[in-house]
Amino acid sequence: MMRGESLSFRSHEADRVSPPRHEAHPARSVPASLILFLSLLLVLAIWKAVVVVRGYPAFVLPAPDVVLRRLLDELVSGTLLGHAGFTLVEALSGFGLSLVLSLLLGYALAHAPRLERVVAPQLAATQAIPVVAVAPLIILWVGADIRAKILVAALVTFFPILSSTIVALRNVPRALLEMAHISGANRWQSLRYVELPLALPGIFGGVKAGLALATTGAVVGEFVAGRDGLGALINISRGLFDTPLMFAALIALAAMTLSFYAIAALLERALVRWEPD
């Protein structure tokens, strides 16, 4: 009797510890591009359903197919590309100007803490004023031409690049700089071989943010005073109650901003050869 119970007990234990016959297959990850595409289709479907159910007229909320047809018409006629070209030049010029100035000033402030304590609060105070309030003054001083839009775009993009440059250079280990100095490296060699490679990931964070804001600055300048550019086109379409044209200009503006960000990400991948821990 005891022997049978012992055998029965062992058989139950074996069943308890034996692995299941059918093992679950590891879950396959869904591609991010497929998720983005499906989410876009969902947004378009909801958009179309809202227009149909609520019966909105085109000047209030056009359907996605109406916007798409208007976008293609404006692309074929060249109107949208012409206005986008003005905004592109203004945004890139303003970004280039702010990039040069912010990198130079950021390097100076990163190596001069006393100067930073004097200058940084004044620079931060300028960010407390909305760019919409400053743009009319810039246009009044410079004139209602492309120079004013470039300056507005530079003003918007300047502080993000400056702050990221200062933080990135300050985070470079001092031991590496002292080792380079002991090895006989001068200031330029320390910047080229030590500081810049280590600070590039942080600097690129500000560069990508600045590129995303460059179009915003250009459009704000066009809103205030401008006959050319995507911002001016949005103003014109708003005055004509041409909402499909407004949506087409917004889509072009979003595509331009996303293209800037993608190019900056590719440059970062090409220039940054290492990833921080």
Smallest CA-to-CA distance from 162 within 242, 96, 98, 118 is with 98
Smallest CA-to-CA distance from 213 within 170, 163, 141, 272 is with 163
What does the alpha-carbon distance between residue 37 and residue 50 come to, in Å, rounded to a whole number? 20
DSSP 64-113: HHHHHHHHHHHHHHTHHHHHHHHHHHHHHHHHHHHHHHHHHHHHHHHT-H
Place of tokens 């280039």: 96
The pLDDT, as a whole number, for residue 13 is 47
The pLDDT, as a whole number, for residue 6 is 45
What does the alpha-carbon distance between residue 263 and residue 43 come to, in Å, rounded to a whole number? 26
Average the pLDDT over 126-136 and give the result. Answer: 81
Fold of 62-271: MetI-like fold (1.10.3720)
Smallest CA-to-CA distance from 44 within 64, 60, 26, 27 is with 64
31 pLDDT above the threshold of 90:
no
258, two tokens: 């996303």
Average the pLDDT over 122-143 and give the result. Answer: 81
The pLDDT, as a whole number, for residue 21 is 52
The pLDDT, as a whole number, for residue 274 is 54
- What is the length of the chain? 277
* Mean pLDDT estimate for the chain: 82
What does the alpha-carbon distance between residue 97 and residue 157 come to, in Å, rounded to a whole number? 9
Q: For the segment 166-200, what is each residue's pLDDT rounded down to a tens digit?
A: 989 988 888 887 787 887 777 788 888 888 888 88
With the CA atoms of 224, 157, 96 and 114 taken in that order, what torsion angle do they form, in degrees rounded to the nearest 10?
A: 130
| Helix 131-142 / helix 196-224 crossing angle, nearest 10 deg | 70
What does the alpha-carbon distance between residue 139 and residue 88 come to, in Å, rounded to a whole number? 19
The pLDDT, as a whole number, for residue 3 is 46
Q: For the segment 12-23, what is each residue's pLDDT rounded down to a tens digit?
A: 444 444 455 544
| Range of weakest confidence among 11-15, 141-145, 183-187, 223-227 | 11-15
29 pLDDT above the threshold of 90:
no
DSSP 176-227: HHHHHHHTT--HHHHIIIIIHHHHHHHHHHHHHHHHHHHHHHHHHHHHHS-S
The pLDDT, as a whole number, for residue 118 is 82
Domain ranges of the chain: 62-271
Place of tokens 């976008």: 71
| pLDDT class of 154 with cuts at 50, 70, 90 | very high
Q: What is the DSSP letter of 129?
A: S
Average the pLDDT over 147-162 and give the result. Answer: 90
Average the pLDDT over 31-51 and give the result. Answer: 83
What does the alpha-carbon distance between residue 154 and residue 94 come to, in Å, rounded to a whole number? 4
> Residues of the chain with pLDDT > 90: what percent?
25
pTM across the whole model: 0.78
| Range of weakest confidence among 7-16, 98-107, 247-256 | 7-16
The pLDDT, as a whole number, for residue 17 is 47
